[in-house]
């Protein structure tokens, strides 16, 4: 597996990974509600992905296995993780753990001592198992009742 900075050429495949991850893995969050799914998937488009790449304070990373993008993540220079999605085909293969470590390292490289994120209900146990602690009540995103604010002190 290779983890690298995303490029504009990755836009279509990265968006497909994010869309599949949300639709197929995040049912505890969207409950197969078409309105919630539509809102959540609305910005997972190549032109928007390319705009995320162009932001100077944003690092978008992809994990690649056998030439295929299998995970997408992003962290702001402030240490906020804004994306962390894995393809259903790569779930439970260590990809999410490796990408999270790379996002945290990027945050450290940018001078941060803490990462912040808003977890889905689906990923909540994953983040808790990787040292994150809840810092407030769920805020709800895209019409879901999840969005658990979490943080982790970085070493």
| CATH code of the domain containing 61 | 3.40.630.30
The verdict on residue 138 lying in a domain is no
pLDDT at 54 over 80: yes
| pTM, full prediction | 0.92
If one counts every other C-beta atom within 10 angstroms of the C-beta of residue 116, the result is 19
The verdict on residue 155 lying in a domain is no
pLDDT at 138 over 90: no
pLDDT at 108 over 80: yes
The three-class DSSP label of residue 82 is strand
Determine the structural domain holding residue 33 and report its residue range. 2-112
The verdict on residue 20 lying in a domain is yes
Count of structural domains, the chain: 1
pLDDT at 77 over 90: yes
């Amino acid at each position: 597996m290779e983890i690298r900075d995303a490029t504009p050429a990755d836009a279509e495949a990265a968006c497909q990974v994010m869309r599949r991850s949300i639709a197929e893995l995040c049912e505890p969050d969207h409950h197969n509600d078409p309105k919630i799914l539509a809102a959540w998937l609305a910005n997972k488009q190549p032109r928007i992905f390319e705009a995320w790449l162009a932001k100077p304070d944003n690092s978008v990373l992809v994990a690649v296995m056998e030439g295929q993008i299998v995970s997408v993540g992003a962290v702001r220079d402030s240490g906020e993780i804004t994306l962390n999605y894995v393809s259903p085909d790569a779930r439970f293969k260590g990809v999410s753990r490796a990408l999270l470590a790379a996002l945290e390292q990027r945050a450290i490289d940018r001078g941060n001592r803490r990462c912040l994120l808003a977890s889905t209900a689906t990923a909540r146990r994953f983040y808790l198992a990787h040292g994150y602690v809840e810092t407030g009540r769920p805020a709800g995103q895209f019409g879901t009742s999840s969005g658990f604010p979490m943080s982790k002190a970085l070493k």
